[in-house]
Structure 1
Amino acid sequence: MSNAAVPFVSGIRNLVSVYDAFIVDLWGVIYEEQHLCYGVFNALSQLYDEGKPVIFLSNSPLRSSDVAKNLERMGVKPRLYKGVLTAGEIIYHELKAGIDPFFSNLGRKCFHLGPECFWQPYAQLGYVCVPNIDEADFIFVTGTFGTQDSLDKYEPFFKVCLSRRLPMICACPDPFILQNGALHIAAGALAAQYQKIGGNVFWRGKPDPSVYEYCLEGLDVSDRRRVAVIGDSLATDIKGANHANLDALFVAGGVHAKELGVNRGQQPDMDRLLLLLKQNGCFVRGVLPAFIW
């Protein structure tokens, strides 16, 4: 497929005649930090009135119910969407079931890499967080030690993990996160680096096409060609939609805003956009300035 001519779409209202349902990213599209992005509430309300269901698909390490509570605190009531699916929710059930061969000899002692609050949903599963990597059976990564981190900082840590052949579970595949207008490395970048040097990593979440199949089941739409994915990350949202053979709409003013030279609500230069899409090996059906009606 080619991106030779990518339509600029001024708002979601232009999509409702083409699509019956939407799979929508959260961070960078619906909210940033703990604030809804401009126009989001109106767009969701209009979609609800039009009878167009929305499922939020997030790479958050939190469970889906916790993310739903966060949405409600920001003013997004459950009636406005069909459901929430997070990478953390999938990982939680994988850990609980223990069916995948990855978990057969995992052990019970975990070294958690990331903010403490992200481990809390998994604590009830009987795994024990240990403070020292020498005691650990596996690594559980949900984030970084700090927003100013670089991959180089983790090289000695990863070498120790690799020497002990510790497997890693990544509950947040996002390579980068946008905070206060700046990009910072996230759990996905750490997991990718560990895998690159030979580490064994278990992933769930975007861009894995299987997570989109879960969403399609929840939407109960008979024709997948009538379902659109909306996201701001080419590496996760858009690439995942491409792998799942679903139409993708790209929000330009999110995680790639700086590369495109735009602010939220602005459309990018076409040549600049096409180059970025080519560099990332992605195809999109259209470009939105933001999640606005």
Structure 2
Amino acid sequence: MVIIRNSSRRALITMEKLRSLGFDPSLFTGVITSGELTHQYLQRRDDAWFASLGRSCIHMTWSDRGAISLKGLGLQVVEADFILAHRTEVLGLSTGAALPMNLDELEKILHQCAAKKIPMVVANPDFVTVEARALRVMLEH
């Protein structure tokens, strides 16, 4: 059995989550997530569109549920060649820390990037996510 999940998280994180929920990982052949595919494409750069992206990015990620690591991708989080969006809660910093921002502040950054025609990679294009028993905004329309 293979788990296919629309999540900005890496496959290993999803497998750990399954283990924490009481599932035996040996029951699964593997896990693939939209976040894992994003990570692999950014790492390999064998696709022409991904190969054309630079090595610096604006990284939008999670805050309270844990920022997504860019380790192993050789990316700098600075003035950007492209935008990498895992979530719209904080800006991920090159140190691994996160700079909290509200959606309005992030939207201003996105408008500036759009004006400059900066490409954007979205690891999980959901508009909302389920959190406990509530829906939470991921990206504005």
Q: How far apart, in 2, do the equivalents of 1:142 and 1:78 lie?
A: 25
3-state DSSP class of the match of 2:52?
A: coil
Which structure 2 residues correspond to residues 226-241 of structure 1 after superposition, within 5 A?
none
Equivalent residue for 2:81, pick from 137, 141, 149: 137
Provide Cα deviations, 1:29-88, integer angstroms capped at 9, x if missing partner. xxxxxxxxxxxxxxxxxxxxxxxxx32211222211221112112211112333211111
Which structure 2 residues correspond to residues 74-93 of structure 1 after superposition, within 5 A?
74-93=21-40
Q: How far apart, in 2, do the equivalents of 1:69 and 1:85 lie?
A: 13
3-state DSSP class of the match of 1:129?
A: coil
3-state DSSP class of the match of 2:114?
A: helix
Q: Identify the residue that residue 68 of structure 2 maps to in structure 1.
A: 119
Which structure 2 residues correspond to residues 134-283 of structure 1 after superposition, within 5 A?
135-145=79-89, 154-186=106-138, 189-190=139-140, 193=141
How well do the aligned residues superpose, as a CA RMSD in angstroms?
2.2
Greater helix share, structure number: 1
3-state DSSP class of the match of 2:71?
A: helix
Unaligned runs of 5+ in 2: 91-101
- The answer as to whether partners of 1:58 and 1:87 remain within 8 angstroms in 2 is yes
Q: How far apart, in 1, do the equivalents of 2:137 and 2:88 lie?
A: 8
- Percent of matched pairs sharing the same residue: 30
Question: What amino acid is aligned across from residue 119 of structure 1 in structure 2?
Answer: I
- The answer as to whether partners of 1:62 and 1:118 remain within 8 angstroms in 2 is no
Q: How far apart, in 2, do the equivalents of 1:62 and 1:183 lie?
A: 18
Larger RCO, structures 1/2 (Cα 8 Å, 6+ apart)? 1
Q: How far apart, in 1, do the equivalents of 2:116 and 2:71 lie?
A: 24
| TM-score computed with the length of structure 2 as normaliser | 0.78
Provide Cα deviations, 1:202-253, integer angstroms capped at 9, x if missing partner. xxxxxxxxxxxxxxxxxxxxxxxxxxxxxxxxxxxxxxxxxxxxxxxxxxxx
Superposition misfits of 4+ residues, deviation over 4 angstroms: none
Greater strand share, structure number: 2
3-state DSSP class of the match of 1:123?
A: coil
- The answer as to whether partners of 1:114 and 1:145 remain within 8 angstroms in 2 is yes
Q: How far apart, in 1, do the equivalents of 2:24 and 2:126 lie?
A: 26
- The answer as to whether partners of 1:114 and 1:141 remain within 8 angstroms in 2 is yes
- The answer as to whether partners of 2:15 and 2:25 remain within 8 angstroms in 1 is yes
94 and 76 in structure 1: CA distance in 2 versus 1, 3 angstrom threshold: same
Q: How many corresponding residue pairs?
A: 128
84 and 95 in structure 1: CA distance in 2 versus 1, 3 angstrom threshold: same
Provide Cα deviations, 1:64-122, integer angstroms capped at 9, x if missing partner. 122111211221111233321111111111112212222233111111111264431x3
Question: What amino acid is aligned across from residue 62 of structure 2 in structure 1?
Answer: P
| TM-score computed with the length of structure 1 as normaliser | 0.40
3-state DSSP class of the match of 1:184?
A: strand
